Structure 1
Amino acid sequence: MYKIIACDLDETLLSDDRSISKENIEAIQKAKELGVKFVPATGRGYNTVDGTLKELGLYDLENEYVISYNGGAISENKGSKLLYFEGITFEKASELYKRGLNYDVCIHVYTKDMVYAYKFVQEEIDYLAGRMEVKEIFDDHIDFLKGQEIVKVLYMNTDYDYLKKIEDDLKDITGDLDVSYSSNRYIEFNHQGVNKGQGLKKLTDILGVDIKETIAVGDNFNDLSMIKVAGLGVGVQNTVEDMKKECDVITKATNNENAVAEVINKYILGTN
């Protein structure tokens, strides 16, 4: 019996219009009634998922959890109690920010409480609307963040090949970082060893659950670490093609067609 479902949000649980289907909500509730924990695992901050938790009936509950910042934080839903956090140094964030100025990218800098964006283009404004609060910045440095805990930095460009070239360019400074891709638009830089897979491992350690008793569901490369470490690694039908071969299972449904309900119905409820 699986005890934990770790599930990506954007392009996995959430439909393209950012909604959660009735079918997904009902399946998650049925799994919860059986004692299965449904754990959102997102690259976003834990303070951005309150709306999702409310829709799922998990908001402000004890013994329910969120993995956020690509595994950089684990929090209990009750009072958003932070159980684990690991970010990057200000010096590393500053270096990534300054190098990013040389590319055609929107740069995001994540602190615990805010996301700052440079070159906040309209396409990105539209994409993030309803997902998270963002503060636009215009300086060629982030000295104003000295002394604050910084979680990660990411670059946005919807050209994946261009982002791959950036990854190659930055190899001289990313040896101590965990580099991943998400939402078909981001290259993300976390502290080395910080990823969703390690976040799921840490949560199972906290709860005393065998990692084999977990399901991980996702769609993009920042989900791959948890898909590979989980007892059952599931990619939804709209998963990036190059990643599908790494998954144990690919759903018939996309994120717009109740993919999460398909997983729960088959592997938790045994109804299809």
Structure 2
Amino acid sequence: MSYKLIACDLDETLLSADRTVCKRNREAIAKAAQKGVRFVCATGRGFKSIEPTLKELNQFDKENEFAVSFNGGAIIESKDNRILRFEGLDFDKAQELYFRGLKYDVCIHVYTQDEVYVKRIHESERAYIAGRMHFVEFDEDNLDFLRDQAIAKVLFVNTDYDYLKTIEKDLEEITGNLDVSFSSNRYIEFNPKGVNKGSGLLWLADYLNIKPEETIAIGDNFNDLAMIKAAGLGVGVANTIEPMKPECDVITKASCEQGAVAEVIENYILSDPAYAYNSNSCDGPVNKSK
């Protein structure tokens, strides 16, 4: 199969712990681009927050470079952050989720197109999102101050996954018209029904006249699962959460710290025999004779 588009999650997939793209990944992505294969960041974060990564990939503010953000809520062209498609939450639904979230032991994020508003942030979350995105702390008891803004999604934060699953169950009465997913082992996320990375990938592929079977999706957590299932080849990196691994076509040997994305590109895109997996390094290609 000749693949033409790779959609890739960022946190815990493409990015290392220092929130950068390692040399091995950068080189492999550049080699794939030389072969005409598009590399598209697919993230739960807003498109403005991924500018540092786009700069590392030489995609920032360029025509014909694209990204999927807000878990598929927005498809953008990098040049001038041009929004090709946006599907956000109805305000009343966002407000309802916010009121319910106040009853749980969670930090709450509310994403608009331009900003992330955070309620009840704790030090663990402050440390996690530092360097990933700008945010505004707020203390209002409702979201009326956002009534005239487009809201992309709402999420709750707690590092106890079992507790988040309890919340998911408790909210079933109001989430029938929502897409609910989990990410980064700390978030439960709420998007409109049918809005996910999978639908975003398929929309963008169609926009670019690329067949679904000509796509690869790479991720590590449940908010990546829809695109992993939608793609021609669905890949989980080595550090993918265990319950999701059986849903993937392929699990890499490398983790996000070891250049897992490069491993995929080397195995499925590149023909250069100098590229091969090295479990000890994210610094670059190694010789296959090892």
Which residue type is aligned with residue 185 of structure 2?
N
- Could you give the per-residue CA deviations for residues 27-76 of structure 1, whole angstroms, max 9, x where no partner exists? 00000111110000000001111110110111111111000000000001
- 2 CA distance for matches of 1:102 and 1:78? 41
CA distances 1:137-169 after superposition (whole Å, capped 9, x unpaired): 112211101111100000000000000000000
Q: Distance in 2 between matches of 1:40 and 1:19?
A: 13
- Which position in structure 2 is the counterpart of 1:202? 203
What amino acid sits opposite 1:47 in the alignment? Answer: K
One-letter amino acid of the counterpart of residue 266, structure 1: N
Equivalent residue of 2:258, what SS? coil
Q: Distance in 1 between the 2:179 and 2:44 partners?
A: 13
In structure 2, the partner of 1:66 is 67
Question: What is the letter of the counterpart of residue 245 of structure 1?
Answer: P
Aligned residue number for residue 167 of structure 2: 166
Structure 2 residue aligned with 1:241:
242
TM-superposition CA deviations, 1:100-150 (whole Å, max 9, x none): 001000000000000001101111110000000110011221110111110
Instruction: Determine helix, strand or coil for the equivalent of 1:256.
Output: helix
What's the secondary structure of 1:269's corresponding residue? Answer: coil
CA distance in 2, matches of 1:46, 1:189: 17
* CA RMSD across the alignment: 0.7
Aligned positions of 1:2-41 closer than 5 A: 2-41=3-42
User: Mean alpha-carbon deviation: is it higher for 13-22 or for 185-194?
Assistant: 13-22
The DSSP-based 3-state class of the residue aligned with 1:109 is: strand
Query: In the aligned structure 2, how far is the partner of 1:58 from the partner of 1:110?
Result: 23
Match of 2:280 in 1: none
SS of the residue corresponding to residue 111 of structure 2 reads: strand
Structure 1 residue ranges (4+ consecutive) displaced by more than 3 angstroms after TM superposition: none
The gaps in structure 1 that reach 5 residues or longer are: none
The corresponding residue for 1:156 is 157
Which position in structure 2 is the counterpart of 1:185?
A: 186
Which moved further from structure 2: 135-144 or 221-230? 135-144
SS in 1 for 2:11: helix
Q: What's 1:118 paired with?
A: 119
User: What displacement does 1:17 show?
Assistant: 1.7
Cα distance, 1:87 vs structure 2? 0.3
The amino acid that maps onto 1:201 is: L
Deviates most, 192-201 or 52-61: 52-61
Measured in 2, the distance between the counterparts of 1:58 and 1:139 equals: 37
TM-score by length of 2: 0.93
State the secondary structure of the residue aligned to 2:173: coil
Classify the secondary structure of the residue corresponding to 1:126: helix
Aligned mates of 2:60, 2:30 — CA distance in 1: 13
Question: 1:198-218 deviations in whole A, cap 9, x for unaligned?
Answer: 000100111111010000000
**Structure 2 residues not aligned, in runs of 5+:** 277-290
Cα distance in 2, alignment partners of residues 129 and 11 from structure 1 = 15
Q: Secondary structure at 1:93's aligned position in 2?
A: helix
User: Which residue does the alignment assign to 2:50?
Assistant: 49
Alpha-carbon deviation of 1:86? 0.2
Determine the structure 2 residue equivalent to 1:135. Answer: 136
Q: Tell me which structure has the larger Cα radius of gyration.
A: 2
| Sequence identity (%) | 62
State the one-letter code of the partner of 1:61: K
The alignment covers a number of residue pairs equal to 272
Q: In the alignment, what sits opposite 2:89?
A: 88
TM-score by length of 1: 0.99
Following superposition, the deviation at residue 19 of structure 1 comes to 1.7
* Equivalent residue letter for 2:129: L
In 2, the alpha carbon distance for the partners of 1:103 and 1:46 equals: 28
Report the Cα distance in structure 1 between the residues aligned to 2:14 and 2:214, rounded to whole angstroms.
20
